[in-house]
Structure 1
Amino acid sequence: MSSTSDIALSSPLDHRLSEADQSLRAGDAETALALLSPLSDSDAVHLTRGRAFFRLARYQDAAVELEKATRPFGGHAVVALVDEAVAMRRRADLLLLFAESRKLAPHDPRLLDAQGNILMHLGRFDEAEVCLRESLKRRPNDKGTLNLLAMNLTEQGRFDEALAILDDLRQRSPGEWGPGCNMAAILNNIGRLEEAANIYRETIPLGPNEAALRLNHSIAMLKSGRMAQGWAEHEWRFGVPGHTNLPQSRLLPNITPSLNLVGKRVLVTQEEGLGDTLMYLRYIPALARTGAIVHIWGTSTLAGLCGRVEGVSIVQHGGETPEYDYHCPFISLPRAFSATPDAMGAPVPYLTAEPAKATQWKKSLRTDCNLRVGLVWAGGARPENTGAQMVDRQRSMPLSALAPLADLKGISFYSLQKDEPAQQRLDFPGPLVDFMPQCLDMDDTAALVSCLDLVVSVDTSMVHLAGGLGKPVIMMDRFNNCWRWLHGRGDSPWYPKMKIVRQTRFRDWSDVVTRVRSLLEDAVRAR
């Protein structure tokens, strides 16, 4: 059969599959099934039908189709639905699908792995461990399952067990970089920095161009205070999905005396969370002093704050990519200035509240003569982002954990909490003023914060907002803390008025709250 004939025969199938896929992305599973109905069986058709049935909550039918589609996959075809289900915020519904799939293939360890992984994402660690250990009985020493088990043990705080598994994988596969990368990342997270550095030194030669490995290495360097090297290494993140798609050839180079930016438009772009943007806005004044025209392209909730930073010429949110000479994601600004006197950016405060809004809040709060303390107990869960969700589960606490603060005298507590955790307000046994429904964006919140005396918060964007405004901050930090707070420190080089109170036991906030209470009592006495 000629190649021309092959193309003629395959084209209608490809067209129908493409139309069905577009229908699914538009949320129309019924139309997708209708488009697929006349097509002959193939792995791609079965997979697409499985996706459609899942969207319709027809889990038994989905399982049948996915079992037929499994042959060409390295894992079970159910794994192909995970990202789609997560994006739809239907992660838990995958368990219903897995249950049906296991009826059809009860001895397939790949289904146990998939189920264990989702249970871990849902925080059901004990159940996940049962699945993964059962999988290992059927497929002993499987590298993928052992990596998942190590990750699950890490989420439980059983770090030594996880490290032992990964170390064994390293010894068994000395030419692979993955186990060493995972092991070093855990060691870095729990503050065993020198051990992490040694493993990175041994592992990087095994995968010198692996972006994920080099990115993890950069985080270890930054956490140990090796800032200049860490920022340079951090540029490897561009090899990982989810970062800028603007051309690397026009990325802002390091600031040197020979670089002439006078009259050049530098497009500074939002890359990750709000906290990152608020933290790195400190570099904008130095960028403007080079003579550059600073054009910020970010999110609408930060537009007002960005526009008041010294040196900003243009603030844009949404719309088409504007003209520029160089672009620079916010997280690359420290790298650009690392060899200059502005390596730490502008001094605090570099953010300012909108004067009229701040004046209005001063009037509203003028009768409150107590120490005014803002409270934030949870970050943004971002359930559509598995990594972010798992980190948030560690950095956030229920408001009820702060109950020991409720009876403090001479303090008025103000909620600065947004989103779903704000519904926990009634779990606080004392008065908790809540003006957040009136705060429609970060600019409104900044004006409110400017009228408070102190902010007590978990590690979320609020600490960067309050810190950048020059407000005193008590940050309640998780055991395996973010790199930017370094290791073993109760202060921060980024925010001089910050005190860090870190967990001494994994996922246990009780001693943190006890120490915060003592600091608040000191603040009342000092006032």
Structure 2
Amino acid sequence: MNQEQRDLNVVWLQVDALLKAECWAEAEVVLCQALASGTGPVALWRQLYMAFRQQGKFVAATQVMDMIVQTVPGDMGARFDLSEMLLLQGEFTRGWREYRFRYKLDHTRMFERHMQKPRWEGQPVKGKTLLIHDEQGYGDTFQFLRLVEQAQERSGAHIILEVNQEACNLARRVSGYNQLIVRGTLPPPFDFHCELMSLPAALGLQLSQLPGRMPYLFADPERVEKWRARLAGLPRPLVGLVWAGSPTHANDKRRSLTLADLAPLALEGITFLALQKGPAAEQAVAPPPGMSLLSLSGEIHDFDDTAAILTVADILVSVDSSPVHLAGALGRPAWVLLPFLNDWRWLIQRDDSPWYPGMRLFRQPVPGQWETVLQNVAAALKELKGKVDVADPFFVSMCEKH
């Protein structure tokens, strides 16, 4: 190892310590000095990408990752990171193309479905059978079921739709398939296949084409009537509440809250419905002082229950989680609490979502700063409460029915 290599190794170790300490700006300064010539080890450029991304400097981060991909085209991790940067900024054409590398990483390779039939790429295949199979989380399934009908129209194929057991009943009411099966069962013979989240690439989905036909998911009418009766008589507005996502999510520590953190939302005259599932649901036994909270987690048996509650409730307030996508797919209003570094599907610098009309995004202004977010949500809740207070009985009745 020559002196130059030793010096670069020292820089890498110094920056690694800064990144672990989340000193993003300091790491950027060190790296920009070391890479001032425009050349240097890919490992340092990766660190610079991380420093840019964590500060919300997405254009610079994209440029760095694009350079890495051009230098090392076989680096699947870099290609996936690039896809997220592109999609985050609404650059869908190349973003979807790079997103196909999501199952080529060491920690995701095991999840790829290995099919002996070719992947459908958007071409007409009239008279053939196309298997569309879901993947990843429940929220992903709810978000991309919207494209099944377009896939049927484009392909002209007989569509077999395969979804997870938990979303199966909701998927029955989606348009665009001929046969529905549960993931884990043996599918009938098919000629082509396509992952649910590969449909955007196959269909050439563009930002301008969103949201498409809305809503595309529908609650079970019998469940809706059951929950309408269950929640009758409670003071309105009825606000569904989810404060934590899945604890196994890679970004969960930044996107999730505790129920105690939501104390600023504890406003008089508002009934909160705890829809939280998982370990965090236990927090509902001790709501913040002044919060009128009805915990429904023990009564929610599946997503059909959640869909029915969202249909009856006035609004959902939630961190980035599957109920958010379910509410959006149902065409129900939702307010989403987003961390500074949000998932790519929420894009950047906007308080609405092209995926879901009526959805409102409340973003952290700086990393880890939820105070402003909660203050803004509290103000919006006061406004919502005011609208309910002045509404005439007919208006309230219509809200309850729809």
> The TM-score by the shorter chain falls in which range?
0.7 to 0.9
Deviations 1:72-126 (A, max 9, x none): xxxxxxxxxxxxxxxxxxxxxxxxxxxxxxxxxxxxxxxxxxxxxxxxxxxxxxx
Shift of 1:163: 2.8
- Deviation of residue 233 (structure 1)? 1.6
CA displacement 1:425-475 (0-9 Å, x = unmatched): 114222211122121221221111111110000111111011111111111
**More helix, by proportion:** 1
Which residue of 142, 146, 171 corresponds with 1:282? Answer: 146
In structure 2, the residue matched to 1:153 is 21
Paired amino acid for 1:181: R
**What SS does the corresponding residue of 1:250 show, helix, strand or coil?**
coil
Counterpart residue number, 2:201:
335
The one-letter code sitting in structure 2 at the alignment partner of 1:194 is V
Give the 3 Å change call, closer, same or farther, for CA 247–165 of structure 1 in structure 2.
farther
8 A Cα contact 1:283 1:345, kept in partner: no
Structure 2: segments with no counterpart, 5+ residues? 1-6, 389-402
What residue number does 2:241 align with?
A: 375
Q: 1:346 aligns with which of 212, 222, 229?
A: 212
Q: Secondary structure at the match of 1:324?
A: coil
- Aligned partner of 1:506: which letter? P
Question: Does the 8 A contact of 1:467 with 1:495 survive in 2?
Answer: yes
**Structure 1, unaligned runs of 5 or more:** 1-138, 383-387
1:168 and 1:216, CA in 2 relative to 1: closer, same or farther beyond 3 A?
Answer: farther
How many residue pairs get aligned? The number is: 375
Output the CA distance in 1 between the equivalents of 2:232 and 2:47.
52
| 8 Å contact kept, 1:193–1:220 | yes
The answer on whether the counterparts of 2:117 and 2:193 sit within 8 Å (CA) in structure 1 is: no
Match of 1:432 among 278, 281, 293: 293
Deviation at 1:153, TM superposition (A): 2.7
Matches within 5 A, 1:497-512: 497-512=358-373
2:317 aligned with 1:451: no
Q: Which has the higher contact order (CA 8 A, sep 6+)?
A: 2
Aligned to 1:244: 112
Question: Counterpart in 1 of 2:333?
Answer: 472
Are residues 328 and 301 of structure 1, via their aligned partners in 2, closer, same or farther at CA, if it must alter by over 3 Å?
A: same
Q: Do residues 517 (structure 1) and 371 (structure 2) align?
A: no
Hey, what does 2:351 align to over in structure 1? Answer: 490
Q: Contact 1:337 / 1:343 at 8 angstroms: preserved in 2? A: no
Asked whether the equivalents of residues 458 and 475 of structure 1 are also in contact (C-alpha less than 8 Å), the reply is: yes
The amino acid of 2:326's aligned partner reads L
Which whole-Å CA distance do the structure 2 matches of 1:298 and 1:332 have between them? 15
- Secondary structure at the counterpart of residue 279 of structure 1: helix
> Are the counterparts in 2 of residues 190 and 481 from structure 1 also a CA contact under 8 Å?
no
Q: Using a 3 Å threshold, how does the CA distance of structure 1 residues 296 and 171 change in structure 2: closer, same or farther?
A: farther
* 2:92/2:206 contact within 8 Å kept: no
Residue in structure 2 matched with residue 420 of structure 1 by the alignment: 279
Question: How many Å separate the matches in 2 of 1:172 and 1:153?
Answer: 27
TM-score by length of 2: 0.86
2:400 aligns with none
Task: Indicate whether 1:196 and 2:64 are aligned.
Answer: no
Q: Is residue 260 of structure 1 aligned with residue 124 of structure 2?
A: yes
Q: Which of 231, 247, 255 matches 1:395?
A: 255
Change (3 A) 1:299 1:395: same
CA distance in 1, matches of 2:318, 2:25: 30
Shift of 1:186: 4.3
Q: Which residue matches 1:316?
A: 182
Distance, in Å, in 2 between the alignment partners of 1:197 and 1:300 is 37
Q: Deviations over 1:293-339 (max 9, x none)?
A: 22232321111111211123213122345532222112111111126
Report the aligned-residue RMSD: 2.6
1:526 counterpart residue number: 387
Q: Distance in 2 between matches of 1:173 and 1:375?
A: 49
Q: Distance in 2 between matches of 1:179 and 1:248?
A: 40
State the SS of the aligned residue for 2:46: helix
Deviation at 1:277, TM superposition (A): 1.2
